[in-house]
């Protein structure tokens, strides 16, 4: 019987014999890498699909605003120098949008916007507008020395990112407060305005300051009734936690200070871990009637939550 000799492995001079290859281990590593890549791709796909199919904000109904209005704690109002606008939920019509750059998203204002007026102690009152179910603004007005002053303001915006949402609540107090109504308004009269506050979705304190200018006195057509109005422009710069500009034009009733119409253009920038994020807001609205669509009693809440009109 013949013997078949096995080929000898060559060993490098001065070295030792190299170990045999481990193909099974390499195959296992490749499999793990492929599984990880597939999982990451799947997660990204889920996030993208969730973002594309996310729900959009809708209009807040007058009935919903009315339920919130009637559910509040009440107190007897204290009339002062200016007549109080009737408490209740009003209907306003308008349009507008809010746009965030990263991730890109646009929220459109509703065509019909509930406006709620509720009374506070000492002749003060609160004005609240719902641009949509995701966005509202509100202001506190108080009479003082023959003027109606803007004492505080708040706003809330919720952005739906699909898998999660981000809500920012801004709370500002004003010092010096800005006059809304004065007893003898004069075109060209300028007032100082400065409000300081915080945002829940942005670090640091922000300050909004700038001139408030009376541009004239005119009348605004509200449901066929001519209502005397003071026209004011506001140009404010924001510094601190946010930066940018706020430009507004307001029409206020000369007898009560009730906002009748408004135009606004905001351009803001907020610092974040991925860099500066730009935010734009623009829109306008006008009251449909001087009579509330949902009336209140003489008691309401003490707790929160050109001269041509647009």
- Mean pLDDT for 68-84 is 62
Distance between start and end Cα atoms, the chain: 110
Q: How confident is the model at residue 161 (pLDDT cuts 50, 70, 90)?
A: low
The tens digit of pLDDT for each residue in 203-255 reads 889 999 999 999 999 999 999 999 999 999 999 999 998 899 999 999 999 99
Domain boundaries defined on the chain: 55-295
pLDDT of 301 > 80? The answer is no
The tens digit of pLDDT for each residue in 165-195 reads 788 899 999 998 989 888 888 999 999 999 9
The listed CATH number (2.40.360, 2.70.98, 3.30.70, 1.20.58) that belongs to domain 55-295: 2.40.360
Q: How confident is the model at residue 304 (pLDDT cuts 50, 70, 90)?
A: very low
């Amino acid at each position: 019987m013949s013997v078949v000799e096995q080929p000898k492995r060559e060993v490098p001079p001065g070295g030792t014999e190299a170990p045999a290859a481990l193909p099974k281990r390499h195959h296992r590593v490749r499999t793990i890498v492929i599984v990880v890549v597939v999982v990451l791709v799947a997660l990204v796909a889920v996030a993208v699909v969730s973002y594309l199919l996310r729900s959009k904000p809708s209009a807040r109904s007058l009935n919903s605003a009315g339920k919130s209005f009637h559910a509040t704690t009440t107190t007897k109002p204290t009339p002062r120098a200016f007549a109080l606008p009737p408490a209740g939920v009003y209907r306003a019509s308008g349009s507008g949008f809010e746009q965030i750059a990263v991730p890109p998203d646009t929220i459109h204002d509703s065509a019909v916007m509930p406006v709620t007026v509720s009374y506070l102690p000492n002749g003060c009152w609160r004005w609240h507008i719902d641009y949509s179910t995701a966005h509202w603004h509100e202001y506190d007005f108080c009479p003082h020395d023959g003027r109606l002053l803007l004492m505080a303001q708040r706003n809330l915006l919720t952005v739906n990112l699909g898998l999660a949402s981000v809500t920012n609540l801004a709370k500002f107090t004003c010092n010096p407060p800005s006059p809304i109504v004065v007893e003898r308004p004069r075109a060209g009269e300028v007032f100082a305005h400065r409000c300081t506050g915080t945002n829940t979705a942005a670090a640091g304190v922000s300050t909004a300051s700038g001139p408030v200018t009376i541009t004239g006195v005119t009348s605004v057509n509200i449901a066929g009734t001519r209502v005397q109005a003071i026209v004011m422009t506001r140009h404010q710069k924001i510094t601190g936690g946010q930066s940018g500009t706020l430009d507004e034009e307001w029409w206020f009733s000369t007898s009560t200070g009730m906002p009748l119409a408004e135009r606004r253009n905001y351009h803001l920038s907020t610092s974040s871990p991925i860099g500066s994020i730009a935010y734009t807001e623009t829109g306008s609205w006008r009251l449909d009637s001087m009579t509330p669509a949902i009336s209140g009693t003489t008691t309401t809440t003490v707790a929160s939550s050109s001269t041509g009109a647009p």
